[in-house]
């Protein structure tokens, strides 16, 4: 039986309640050390802001300052907003709108890309992995492998062109951020990029559609999780919903218009040997408007075996490697084939629990 998309459910005339299969028990999301009080700290404006233009065009002094800020952001937050990033405003808007058009296609047209295998290059579906889930998430997705080999659905007609350009711009920006992050770890500028073989980087484009939900307090867009890749670059329409876990509290993230949100993901936690932690985040839903977010999961090349950077570990001192080595393709497969839950994939390769 084909699972109904969330969009088709949300489009039902006069819908006042959600199907019971979408009712999310808050416990499903609780990490032991999280404060249950969901009230935001009111400090979302202190989410670090990184001025990308100073990283690439600033004086050496300005660049050093941004590198230092990047390091602090990765260590204390695992999360930052990037401004002056060079990805055009128009392109960002077009990317969001063309995704909306994709989700507006007829169900039969979208079903052409229905998920069969988790490593298929183009996948359309609902929730995260309904095969293993008891409760579904209020979210439809379109996931596309866009690098090292580029893929695109053939409809809507302009999708390919916009995606290709968006992908190029995001790659350029991410490469520079990774250089800065490498320096912030006291490594050579190109060290992380070499270790991850970013030239053949695996980039997964994931568009998320969270239709408005008549009972938002009972449903979840995505549960608390960390991302599989090195860095995730997130773009969204102006509808709030993302929360990050910061100092044991869930914080609402309301991005500055036209900024891009970046978060540390699992491969960077591994490479930095735990210094930079992949941040837990989740997506809430609302009963007012459809939210769209687009995550670019920039990771190592699929064949790269990732482990803590040798320069950052020393077996004989108090700095032993904290993670086992694992090929990125295998990591992706474990992540996509299981439940999305906290840091469960990373926990599989931790050496000290
Ligand atoms: O919708 C969001 O803001 C978050 C999306 C996300 O976490 C993901 O796609 O991994
Ligand atoms: Fe995520």
| CB distance 204 to 143 below 8 Å | yes
How far is ligand 2, taken at its centre, from the CA of residue 226, in Å?
6
| CB distance 64 to 32 below 8 Å | no
**DSSP class per residue in 76-91:** HTSEEEEES-SS-HHH
Ligand nearest to the CA of 294: 1
The answer, yes or no, to whether any atom of ligand 1 lies below 6 A from the CB of 279, is no
| CB distance 41 to 249 below 8 Å | yes
Locate all alpha helices (DSSP H) within 185-306, ordered by sequence. Answer: 191-195, 266-271
| CB distance 18 to 8 below 8 Å | no
Distances (CA, A) of 10 to 1, 15, 251: 19, 7, 27
Distance CA 19, CA 209 (A): 18
Distance CA 191, CA 188 (A): 5
pTM over 0.80: yes
Going by the DSSP 8-state scheme, the letter that residue 20 receives in this structure is G
Distance CA 79, CA 177 (A): 13
Beta bridge partners of residue 295, listed in sequence order: 206, 234
| CB distance 143 to 123 below 8 Å | yes
Distance CA 228, CA 48 (A): 22
The answer, yes or no, to whether any atom of ligand 1 lies below 6 A from the CB of 7, is no
How far is ligand 1, taken at its centre, from the CA of residue 282, in Å?
7
For ligand 2, an ion, list residues with CB under 5 A: 227
The residue whose C-alpha atom lies closest to atom 9 belonging to ligand 1 is 295
Distances (CA, A) of 254 to 28, 244, 260: 25, 11, 11
- ipTM given for this complex: 0.99
List strand residue ranges (DSSP E) for 109-201, in order. 122-126, 140-147
Nearest atom within ligand 1 for CA of residue 232: 10
Instruction: Tell me which H or E stretch contains 283.
Output: strand 281-283
Distance CA 303, CA 158 (A): 31
The answer, yes or no, to whether any atom of ligand 1 lies below 6 A from the CB of 280, is no
The answer, yes or no, to whether any atom of ligand 1 lies below 6 A from the CB of 240, is no
Ranges of residues in the chain with a pLDDT under 70 are: 1, 26-45, 353
How far is ligand 1, taken at its centre, from the CA of residue 315, in Å?
36
Please name the residue that has the structure tokens 């920006």.
173
Helix, strand or coil, per DSSP, at residue 320: coil
Smallest Cα–Cα separation from 141: which of 67, 221, 41? 221
The answer, yes or no, to whether any atom of ligand 1 lies below 6 A from the CB of 227, is yes
* Buried-state track 185-221, b at ≥16 Cβ within 10 A, e below 16: bebeeebbbebbbbeebbbbbbbbbbbbbeebebbbb
Evaluated on CA atoms 309, 267, 245, 29, the torsion sign reads: negative
- Residue 36 confidence (pLDDT): 43
- Residue 317 confidence (pLDDT): 76
């Amino acid at each position: 039986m084909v699972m109904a998309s969330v969009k088709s459910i949300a489009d039902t005339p006069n819908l006042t309640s959600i199907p019971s299969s979408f009712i999310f028990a808050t416990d499903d999301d609780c990490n032991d050390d999280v404060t249950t009080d969901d009230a935001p700290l009111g400090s979302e404006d202190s989410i670090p802001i990184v001025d990308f233009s100073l990283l690439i065009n600033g004086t050496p002094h300005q660049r050093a300052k941004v590198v230092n800020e990047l390091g602090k952001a990765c260590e204390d937050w695992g999360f930052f907003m990037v401004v002056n990033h060079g990805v055009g405003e128009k392109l960002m808007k077009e990317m969001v709108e063309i995704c909306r058009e994709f989700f507006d296609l007829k169900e039969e047209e979208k079903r052409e890309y229905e998920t069969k295998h988790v490593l298929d290059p183009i996948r359309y579906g609902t929730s995260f992995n309904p095969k293993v889930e008891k409760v579904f998430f209020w979210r439809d997705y379109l996931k596309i492998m866009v690098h090292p080999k580029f893929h695109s659905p053939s409809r809507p007609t302009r999708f390919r062109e916009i995606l290709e350009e968006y992908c190029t711009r995001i790659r350029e920006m991410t490469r520079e951020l990774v250089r800065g992050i490498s320096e912030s770890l006291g490594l050579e500028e190109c060290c992380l990029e070499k270790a991850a073989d970013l030239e053949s980087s695996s980039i997964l484009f994931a568009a998320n559609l969270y239709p408005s939900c008549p009972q938002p307090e009972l449903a979840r867009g995505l549960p608390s999780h960390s991302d599989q890749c090195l860095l995730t670059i997130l773009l969204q329409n102006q509808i709030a919903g993302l929360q990050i876990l910061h100092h044991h509290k869930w914080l609402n993230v309301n991005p500055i218009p036209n900024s891009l949100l970046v978060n540390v993901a699992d491969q960077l936690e591994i490479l930095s040997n735990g210094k930079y932690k992949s941040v837990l985040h989740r997506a809430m839903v609302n009963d007012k408007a459809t939210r769209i977010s687009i995550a670019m999961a920039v990771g190592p090349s699929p064949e790269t075996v990732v482990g803590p950077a040798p320069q950052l570990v020393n077996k004989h001192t108090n700095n032993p490697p904290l993670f086992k080595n694992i090929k990125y393709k295998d990591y992706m497969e474990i992540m996509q084939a299981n439940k999305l839950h906290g840091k469960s994939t990373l926990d599989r390769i931790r050496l000290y629990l």
